Amino acid sequence: MGSRPSIGEASDRIRRTCSLTDEVGRLRYVSANRAEALERLGISRVRDLFLHVPHRYLDFSTVAKIAFTTVGADATVVAKVERIATKRPRPRMSIVEVEASDETGVMTAVFFRQPWVADQLHEGDEVAFSGTMTFAYGFRQMKAPFYEVIATEEEKKKPRAQILPVHPATEGVSPAWMRRIMSAALADVGDICDWLPAKLCAARGFMTLARALREVHFPTSLALAEQARRRLAYDELLCLQLALLARRTVELAGDTPFAHTTDGPRKQALLAALPFELTAEQHAAVHDILCDMEDPQIMNRLLLGDVGTGKTAVAAVALAAAADSGTQAAMMAPTSVLAQQYAEKLGPLLTASKISWALVTGSTPPQKRAEIAQRVLAGDTTVVFGTTALLSETMDFKRLTLVVIDEQHRFGVDQRAALRKKGTGVDLLAMTATPIPRTLALSVYGDIAMTRLAQRPHAGAGVTTKILTSNNLDLAYGAIRDAVVAGRQAYVVCPLVDDSDEGADLDDLPENVQTKTKMHSALATQVTLQREVFSDMRVGVLTGRMSVAEKDETMAAFRAGTVQILVSTTVIEVGVDVPNATVMLIYNADRFGLATLHQLRGRVGRGDMAGEVFLNSDAKRGAPARKRLAALEATSDGFKLAELDLKLRREGETLGYRQSGATTLKISDLYGDGDLIEAAYKDARSLYRRDPQLKDPVHQTMGLEARDRFGAYFEELGRA
């Protein structure tokens, strides 16, 4: 009989039975404090850890010696820390200087406003520095380089991998500890069963999941690391597509499609009532939509159109088709201002076409709302414009067959589903003026057909865009004054509502932190401009925190010209149409994405007078934020700007297109992985055609994986 294992051996044996679903605290080297730190990174289970891929690699086969680096070029050097000094030239300013050397020379790494560097590095450490090599004060120097402790004084003699992964880390778990934990986890869990069918893996030329995890975390070459990342990115994208398809299947479960009449008298009357002829592109969009409405399948279409491309006229034809079919339509907008504008624009056209309509928003008096609800339920009202007030339990339709949702990304999945559930087999036409690159649209919607309007039927007088630093704001103030004196109006846009806001929902780009630029708030700016700059003019304010009634009152005053200068947050980004407004100043413009800025810019230059837009930014020339603004200054093509924004900022909050409850993609690059997005899109649909419930044993693991990764979609469906 053999001896009993020691406690340590037994513990090690237990740890080696870990599975992907186990809590990360079971892994070696993961103490309670480290488990808490990993939780801050979104890592709670072993599978989460494995999907926490490196964000860069240090390739020691390309490391340069200090003396042989080229000044002005990027380089990676490995050097021994000789001295660390912290200087404070003025209050709230710290400079950490790290002197390091190798056998060829000495360099200095300089870190501004990063005092913690002095605690993370120690004399004698071997550190890899990556950055642009400059020359200052007689020495080679890197400013704010990326750095990684390769080994402490005691560990230097140990063998080192040729390629070192650098994982995103947090306080309590450094990249070095992350490597140690990851290595132990891969060894303890062992080979991992692949959730993808072998045939699909082979058809796409992917490596197995087990090998992909080993190569992405501890690659034998950079080429294999990228192959591994692409395999994991495809997994993520395929799961998303499967989740989107499952969502659509559940949303439409039990619904019987309705075939609309698409060439009736009301449609013809509406086309005749339009004050202009539809363009060829608009006719093509109408054709796509009407074919979907006539087809015995439930329509799910997105109408993409830049500012001024005529989406409203196209949507009006769809509303008329519903009327010709003897059914009802609902048009939901994200704000009461926009809903009212649609009613004002389309209402007269519908009336001329003998189509009854009504408007319901949060500010509609209860008695009037009850009267409208009664007429809608009886079928006496055909088209209803509104906000989320349409979702009220008191608002029921006699026969709802068409829902038009503007800026649909501003509504959650449950809200869209709730409105469609007020009818049976309801067709959906979603519209957006926010330009969306195809790869982003596929990843966000996946299950929706797309029609794009690119041409403006009436170009207007156009807009000129100019970047201004805070020292040159007088140019913008002068343009605003000139416009108001000439009888025109102006917008001033701020990133914050009031000075107590921290701006946590803004981009907060690193280069802006160093400029110490004041963040402007709408409430404070309105007071300052009214008192100190435009005291002889009427300056109003509009924010998202105002009540619906207050917003409506402010916008009515601005449209009427009673308010000449409107200070606002981005609440005016969508749908606000005041042709008399010709000038816009956007404070802290570098804190917004290109798509938001492009949308804001679309509020001016809509009439006969040319518009001027001033982008205030103190970001340094060459900084990423300044490059974005320069692109906006150079082009007015929204789709080109959207592609550039996606390239510069990746997925994140690039276009504000985060679905309610959805999980941000962690591995995929929506700009660089376009081929993988297309592949996942096609493969998911092929699988669903053959096995819509994923009941085949070969496919069951795929359904489980999709639910595990994107459970928020399924939870929303349960609430809808």
- Here the tokens at position 266 are 């009301």
pLDDT tens figures, 676-716: 988 998 899 899 888 888 888 888 899 889 888 887 666 55
Indicate the SS3 state at residue 673. Answer: coil
**Is the overall model pTM greater than 0.75, yes or no?**
no
pLDDT tens figures, 507-529: 333 333 334 567 899 999 999 99
Contact 654, 422 (CB under 8 A): no
What local confidence, expressed as pLDDT, does residue 437 receive?
64
With tokens 């796409």, the residue in question is 204
Minimal CA–CA distance to 642: which of 335, 311, 410, 304?
Answer: 304
Transcribe 54-79 into DSSP letters: -SEEEEGGGPPPGGGPPTTSEEEEEE
Beta bridge partner(s), residue 405: 332, 430
pLDDT tens figures, 542-597: 988 888 788 888 988 999 999 999 999 988 866 677 889 999 999 999 888 777 78
pLDDT tens figures, 4-60: 333 333 334 444 567 888 899 999 999 999 999 999 999 999 999 999 999 888 877
Question: Cα(59)–Cα(325) distance, rounded to whole angstroms?
Answer: 66
What local confidence, expressed as pLDDT, does residue 499 receive?
72
Minimal CA–CA distance to 501: which of 442, 544, 438?
Answer: 544
What local confidence, expressed as pLDDT, does residue 34 receive?
93
User: How open is the CA angle 552-557-561, to the nearest 5 degrees?
Assistant: 145
Question: Cα(384)–Cα(373) distance, rounded to whole angstroms?
Answer: 10
Indicate the SS3 state at residue 300. Answer: strand
Q: Which amino acid makes up residue 536?
A: D
241-244 long-range Cβ contacts below 8 angstroms, 24+ apart: 241/446, 241/680, 241/681, 241/683, 241/684, 241/685, 242/684, 242/687, 242/688, 242/694, 242/702, 242/703, 242/706, 243/706, 243/707, 243/709, 243/710, 243/713, 243/714, 244/445, 244/446, 244/447, 244/684, 244/713
Q: Nearest 5°: phi and psi at 99?
A: -95, 130
- Here the tokens at position 427 are 């067709």
What local confidence, expressed as pLDDT, does residue 196 receive?
93
What's the gap between Cα 651 and its chain centre?
Answer: 6
DSSP H stretches of helix in 305-356 = 311-324, 336-352
What local confidence, expressed as pLDDT, does residue 715 receive?
59
Question: Cα(610)–Cα(593) distance, rounded to whole angstroms?
Answer: 24
Question: Cα(185)–Cα(547) distance, rounded to whole angstroms?
Answer: 53
Indicate the SS3 state at residue 321. Answer: helix
Burial class (CB in 10 A: 0-12, 13-18, 19+), 119: exposed
Contact 143, 72 (CB under 8 A): no
> For the chain, which ranges sit under pLDDT 50?
1-15, 503-515, 650-663, 718-720
Pairing of strands 539-542, 449-453: unpaired
Of the CA atoms within 13 Å of residue 155, those in its CB half-sphere come to 9
For residues 626-652, one letter each, b for 16 or more C-beta atoms within 10 angstroms of the residue's C-beta and e for the rest, the string is bebbbbbeeebebbbbbbbbbebbebe
